[in-house]
Homo-oligomer: A and B are copies of this chain.
């Protein structure tokens, strides 16, 4: 009899988190960075997410499946998204030296420049969307809780 309320709390919490994410994402999709307002390249949110992930690994290369852990895309979709980014000259590939099955990805100089340019506009958009809703302290709390959530996830079934 003590589990049921916890189950309901978890469901309500996820529902609230998910709706907030949908609402924020919808606005960001319509915001300057991804409407190509004041930026010179057209990049979708998912494409940007890959560029951003790569930008956080400045020295080196990332494996495809490492990127896949951070993005909500199937393996095959990511494979093709990366292919498109390569065709546009924003990333480059290399077969993994220590594992012939794998490939390594990194930003090209142009890809890095594009990520930075869009990133700056995106950060402004985020501040404009999220900033008005929460105080600095609330943001810190929210960050801490979502970080803890991500790190503590359980396994269903």
Binding site for B on A (CB under 8 A): 5-14, 16-28, 30-32, 37, 70-72, 122-134, 136, 138-143, 145-157
**In the complex the two chains form, what is the Cα distance from A146 to B14 in whole Å?**
10
User: How far apart are A127's CB and chain B's nearest CB, in angstroms?
Assistant: 4
**In the complex the two chains form, what is the Cα distance from A137 to B148 in whole Å?**
13
A149 — which chain B residues lie within 8 A by C-beta?
20, 24, 130, 133-134, 142
A123 — which chain B residues lie within 8 A by C-beta?
7-8, 11
**In the complex the two chains form, what is the Cα distance from A128 to B3 in whole Å?**
11
A24 — which chain B residues lie within 8 A by C-beta?
14, 17, 149-150, 153
Please tell me if the beta carbons of A130 and B14 are within 8 angstroms of each other in the complex. yes
A9 — which chain B residues lie within 8 A by C-beta?
136, 139-140, 143
Please tell me if the beta carbons of B139 and A13 are within 8 angstroms of each other in the complex. yes
A145 — which chain B residues lie within 8 A by C-beta?
134, 138, 141-142, 145
Please tell me if the beta carbons of A13 and B157 are within 8 angstroms of each other in the complex. no
Please tell me if the beta carbons of B6 and A136 are within 8 angstroms of each other in the complex. yes
**In the complex the two chains form, what is the Cα distance from A95 to B87 in whole Å?**
46
**In the complex the two chains form, what is the Cα distance from A126 to B30 in whole Å?**
30
A28 — which chain B residues lie within 8 A by C-beta?
156
A153 — which chain B residues lie within 8 A by C-beta?
23-24, 27, 129-130, 132-133
Closest to A140 in B: B9
User: How far apart are A122's CB and chain B's nearest CB, in angstroms?
Assistant: 8
> By CB atoms of chain B within 10 A, which of A10, A28, A30, A152 has the most?
A10
